[in-house]
Amino acid sequence: MHIKKIHVILALLILIPSFVNLGVPIYNRDSPELLGMPFFYWFQTFWLFASAGFYIVFARLKGNHE
């Protein structure tokens, strides 16, 4: 079975944010703080925007591939 490189990249763009957000022990702590916010909150906020970026790249690559 031949898997194209683009399909691997597309899968990673969707799976990376999912695995990071499922890894709760990675970010279930208070320190370090950023602007007075505990790590948990700013880490989740960062990944909200990062996930949107991953999806935008995914959508563009998928659109160019079809």
DSSP per-residue codes, 8-58: HHHHHHHHHHHHHHH-HHHH-S--S-BTTB-HHHHHHHHHHHHHHHHHHHH
pLDDT the model gives residue 65: 64
What is the predicted pLDDT for the residue at 63?
78
Break the chain into its structural domains and give their ranges. 5-65
Q: What is the pLDDT of residues 4-58, one digit of tens each?
A: 888 888 888 889 888 888 888 888 888 898 888 898 888 989 999 999 998 898 8
CB 32, CB 39: distance < 8 Å: yes
Judged against a pLDDT cut of 60, whether residue 1 lies above it is answered with no
